[in-house]
Amino acid sequence: MNNVVVSMDIGSSKVSVVIAEINKKQFNVIGVGTSECSGVKKGVIVDIDSTVEAIKNAVEMAEQMSNIKIKSTFVNIKGGYCTLIDNKGVIAVSREDKEITEEDVLRVIQAAKVVALPPDKEIIDIIPQQYIVDGYDEIRDPVGMVGVRLEVDAKLVAASTTNVQNIIRTVQKAGLMVDGIILEPLATSTIVLNDDERELGVALVDVGAETMDISVFKRKTLIYSKLIPVGGNHITNDISLLCKITFNDAEKIKRQYGVATASLIKNDDIIKINNIAGKGEKEIHIIDVAEIMEARIQEMLLLIKNELEKNNLLNALGAGIVITGGGLFNIKGIQDYAQSFFDVPIRFGYPNYIGVANPMYSASAGIAMYVLKQKRASSVQIDLKKNVKPKEVEKDEVAVSQETEEVKISWIEKIKEFFADFF
């Protein structure tokens, strides 16, 4: 089971868990679990206990679907809550014949991690931009080349220690270990964007329940990330307040009748729902709902546009803007309406794989693919409680026992495993 990965997206409205594997170079989803979550606000955990409960529920669903017992998981962190730091590492090639090895690459990456950070920040990832061998730059993989001096230009991903530790503590309280914390834009881009888009320049906008995570890629590298604290729940909340109905009723109306612009409404039908006080029914005009939604969606799109223009990024988006996440995805006419705000191509993206073909799984499925491409794995085992024959039980128990012996791997294997964290 060492090619299986478990990924978890802890979002403002739900926790999603995906169990996936690479089988014959094919990405396969073998388990999915989702649970509503009220313990996260604007991407930050504010109530550990309720978040733990949501994690347990999502994990249980994924375990039942996959017949696999989850022991550990990779978890996301929002891009807007991280800082990208440019840094350089330099080493001398160690071998006498001056051939660059994986150990040299590991050493130069370690050298790039040496940077002064505030005490409340810690490095959670490092993204190599290019390698330089004796002055020759734009090298993607220097292993096997010959040189005296090896350099790397890298971006360090620094996150708040408090945020990171709260994520780890919450997952641990749910009974799981944390295999790693993955920068969400890197993961989402792996499954939503294609290589041409990331090369030409693209803005990936992940619209969730309470946040919009804007990330810009150029030459296949993340160059900018920003979090805006506005999301799909703000549309629902506007409908709830202005129509004087409950949040749940407003969400149902948004999903069933919601449109991006009032111009799409041809007949001003009336929706009847129960009054909040419980006496009689309340009549709501669809045109009123459409106008409320259009005002908020317009604001959200303008916030995205202003952020890109402010940082001189809009004109650099050769591949345009890709919007994902569940905040805007299912609203009728949203793509045409969004296109009217930008002078670049607009498309809506989601994971195109069985079991997760929905924008709400962009982050969780993306984490799984990102990690599998790095040849990393989670700690899992066949659930012996479910539909397993006695002989298979004995075989799987041996396999699990062998997995526990991974702590005894040699120092060479440790180097390879660490190196795999970056490629």
Mean pLDDT estimate for the chain: 86
CA distances from 326 to 211, 280, 342, 356, 390 (A): 11, 33, 21, 13, 43
The segment(s) of the chain belonging to CATH 3.30.1490.110 are: 82-161
Query: Rounded to 10 degrees, what is the CA torsion of 147, 149, 155, 159?
Result: 120
Q: pLDDT value at position 266?
A: 85
Q: Is 293:327 a contact under the CB 8 Å cutoff?
A: no
Q: pLDDT value at position 84?
A: 87
The segment(s) of the chain belonging to CATH 3.30.420.40 are: 194-231+295-348, 232-294
Q: pLDDT value at position 378?
A: 64
Q: Is 85:121 a contact under the CB 8 Å cutoff?
A: no
Q: What is the CATH number of domain 82-161?
A: 3.30.1490.110
Instruction: Return the number of other C-beta atoms located less than 10 Å from residue 326's C-beta.
Output: 21
Tens of pLDDT, residue by residue over 209-261, are 999 999 999 988 888 889 999 999 999 999 999 999 999 999 999 999 999 99
Query: How many alpha carbons fall within 13 Å on the CB side of residue 156?
Result: 19
The fold adopted by the segment(s) 232-294 is Nucleotidyltransferase; domain 5 (3.30.420)
Query: Rounded to 10 degrees, what is the CA torsion of 164, 166, 168, 170?
Result: -150
Q: pLDDT value at position 259?
A: 93
* 234 phi/psi in degrees, rounded to 5: -70, -35
Q: pLDDT value at position 412?
A: 44
Tens of pLDDT, residue by residue over 343-383, are 889 999 999 999 999 999 999 999 999 998 876 656 666 55
Q: Residue 150's closest CA among 94, 221, 87?
A: 94
For domain 194-231+295-348, the CATH architecture is 2-Layer Sandwich (3.30)
Tens of pLDDT, residue by residue over 12-70, are 889 999 999 988 788 999 999 999 998 998 888 999 999 999 999 999 999 999 999 99
Tens of pLDDT, residue by residue over 70-88, are 999 999 998 888 888 999 9
Classify strands 149-160 and 82-92 as parallel, antiparallel or unpaired: antiparallel
Which residue, chain included where needed, has tokens 């060479």?
412
For domain 4-70+359-420, the CATH architecture is 2-Layer Sandwich (3.30)
The length of the chain in residues reads: 423
Provide the β-strand partners of residue 150: 91, 133
Q: Residue 353's closest CA among 345, 341, 361, 343?
A: 361
Provide the β-strand partners of residue 367: none
Percent of the chain surpassing pLDDT 90 = 63
128 pLDDT tier (thresholds 50, 70, 90): confident
Q: Is 215:185 a contact under the CB 8 Å cutoff?
A: yes
* 107 phi/psi in degrees, rounded to 5: -65, -40
